[in-house]
Amino acid sequence: MKKQLLSLLLPLLSLTALAQKPEDAVKYASFITADGLKEKLTILAGPEMEGRETAAAGERKAAAFIEEHFKKIGLKPGNGDSYRQPFNVYQDMLTEKKLMVNGKTYQWDQDYYFPMSMVSSTNWNQGSVVFVGNGTVDSATKTNDFKGLDVKGKLVLIADVAGNGTAMNTPAMNKISYVRNLGAAGILMVSSDFPRKTPSQLKGRMSIKAPAAATNSDNGFIAAMISSEVASALVGRTFTLTPAQWKELPKGTYIAETKIAAKKTSEALESSNVIGILPGTDKKDEYLFITGHYDHLGKIGDVIWYGADDDGSGTVSVMQMAEAFAAAAGKRKGPRRTIAFMAVSGEEKGLLGSEFYSDHPIYPMEKTTANLNIDMVGRVDTERKTADTLNYVYVIGHDKLSSELPIINEGVNNKYTGLTLDYKFDDPKDRNRIYFRSDHYNFARKGVPILFFYDGMLLSDYHKPTDTVDKINFPLMEKRVKMIFHTSWEMANRDNMLKRDTPLNMGSR
């Protein structure tokens, strides 16, 4: 019996030993190269992917590209017999819009637009508006432009008396909230930003939660930005008032036949996470997740938001690391734990894909040792003025959920890569709230220890069409990805899952 038991254990012990040699980690880390990363990113962040907007045609092309790579290198499907974890997303759509004053029809984006977050299905016929000047309420100066005016159930007109245009900034949002709380039917805010240079969005926010059952929402509160020409017509002028004339215009009710119509619907779309797995050996029922989001902001007209750094860089890092681990497994140097390589969708729309996965996990969260999330590792933080500008990465999550995270990460970095690991975004007072802004958060909220790797590029080309492949520093990116690979190698092969022994000190999202 002892001899038989020993014969069963020997292959298992052999596989375990093979997977843990430090020289093997170095050998297979060499599969991660600047050229390999650039080759993949040039495709993923190329014009044919059209900015990879969630649930759009370009993103579907990107998903197919990632899936084909996973198949090619020998990863197994991560969701039964499929590499996809599909999920529905629901997006608000503005399908009808109209604004008429005294029988004249005005044109969308030439004279008015409805901010998508501020419009509901509406069909208003009003005979007057209440002009409240600049709409200022300031207790310090004892200013209240609404004093003595009854706005309940009426349209409120606020002038842009400075002539600088009114955007959906904090002061504007505060005015909208104030007017709504007074019971007004809606708010019309004058803006000098007409005709608009950038087409207004007819699509709103996305959600993975189905909309509530339709109700009669006619005459719902509405906010609109209007041109000075429209506003002048509302106060009975046949000419366009100047900023100086708006300042002199008396507050009060003005007779104007005003018709506003909007129809807001919800469109059901489908997106998917792309998951390939590399089965483990003796600890195959435990899991390590390596993630990066492959969606970006899409295109408007002919303008593409390429998303090379955000997060093409993280996605191709996941793909290249999968290639390195698969090569090791092909030589019987495979990981002890199962590694799930997941390209996540919907991050830019509110972490939708990772939220869906964390609420519908394919593999038990309690058996997931950690999530290493890679979101923007190809650029340099333009605000970083220190000497290590070309030899750093920001690491988020190191002092949260598991005391073993920094021990492992710092240990392999000191041994193999020598990067500066900057923890500034782990400060609970971080004004950017980076901890809550990428897909690792949805693993962390389920108690899974996470490390998030990030280059800090919040200015420069962040969320602009100019986030392109030519801006990527591939040698630096290679070094960062190798460090993450060594971290994942250690986590996939160590004897025990990471401890979950450290409280989360960041508050809530």
Domains and CATH numbers, the chain: 17-90+269-493 (3.40.630.10), 92-267 (3.50.30.30)
> What one-character DSSP code corresponds to residue 411?
H
d(CA 441, CA 319): 21
Q: Check whether the bond before 279 is cis (ω within 30° of 0).
A: no
Q: Which residues pair with 399 in a beta bridge?
A: none
Position 239, amino acid: F
In tens digits, the chain (509 residues) has pLDDT values of: 444 444 444 444 444 444 457 789 999 999 999 999 999 999 999 999 999 999 999 999 999 999 999 999 999 999 999 999 999 999 999 999 999 999 999 999 999 999 887 888 888 899 999 999 999 998 889 999 999 999 999 999 999 755 555 566 777 888 888 999 999 999 999 998 899 988 888 888 899 998 765 444 445 788 999 999 999 999 999 999 998 999 999 999 999 999 999 998 999 999 999 999 999 999 999 999 999 999 999 998 899 999 999 999 999 999 999 999 999 999 999 999 999 999 999 999 999 999 999 999 999 999 999 999 999 999 999 999 999 999 999 999 999 999 999 999 999 999 999 999 999 999 999 999 999 999 999 999 999 999 999 999 999 999 999 999 999 999 999 999 999 999 999 999 999 999 999 998 887 77
Question: Burial of 459 by CB count in 10 Å (0-12 exposed, 13-18 middle, 19+ buried)?
Answer: exposed
d(CA 367, CA 498): 10
Ramachandran sector of residue 376 (left: φ over 0; alpha: ψ -120 to 50; beta: rest):
left
d(CA 18, CA 54): 41
Give the per-residue pLDDT at 119. 82
d(CA 44, CA 295): 10
Q: What is the DSSP string of 201-259?
A: PSEEEEESSPPPPP---TT--EEEEE-HHHHHHHTT-SSPPPHHHHHHSPPEEEEEEEE
Note the pTM of the prediction, 2 decimals.
Answer: 0.84
On whether the CB atoms of residues 28 and 324 are closer than 8 A, the answer is yes
d(CA 473, CA 471): 7
d(CA 477, CA 485): 12
Give the per-residue pLDDT at 406. 98
Give the per-residue pLDDT at 366. 98
**CA Rg, the chain, in Å?**
28
On whether the CB atoms of residues 239 and 121 are closer than 8 A, the answer is no
Query: Do strands 155-158 and 76-77 pair parallel, antiparallel, or not at all (unpaired)?
Result: unpaired
Q: Could you tell me the CA-to-CA distances from 270 to 86, 210, 346, 416, 456 in Å, in that order?
A: 7, 12, 11, 42, 31
